[in-house]
Amino acid sequence: MSEEEIIQYQTRGTCSKMIGIGIRDGKITRAEFLGGCQGNLSGISKLIVGMTVDEVIERLQGIDCAGRGTSCPDQLAQCLIEYKNQSAVAK
């Protein structure tokens, strides 16, 4: 089993300001949002634990909140896309 990677991502265009995610062996181990709708974001955080990075991206990318062109779930997907791109470059 590999070591857990911790990612912090500053969101853009949403009420939440920061997302912290733990990833081990390609799966989400934890997720926390700073700011935003805490009930909904706590629910999303619990639902994605155990999912693969790709599953989360597939399900959440492109979700819009009130015509902003993004949302907290979409920002989570953007964070994971950035993580994947950086991981690919590092290899």
Record the tokens describing residue 33, joined without a space: 């949002």
All domains of the chain, ordered by start, with CATH? 5-90 (3.30.390)
- CA–CA distance from 15 to each of 5, 35, 49 (Å)? 25, 6, 22
Q: CB within 8 A of 75, min separation 6: which ones?
A: 9, 11, 12, 13, 14, 16, 19
pLDDT of residue 91: 67
Torsion, CA 36, CA 6, CA 11, CA 55, rounded to 10? -90
pLDDT of residue 83: 97
- Cβ atoms < 10 Å from Cβ of 37: 15
Averaged over 37-52, what is the pLDDT?
A: 97
pLDDT of residue 20: 98
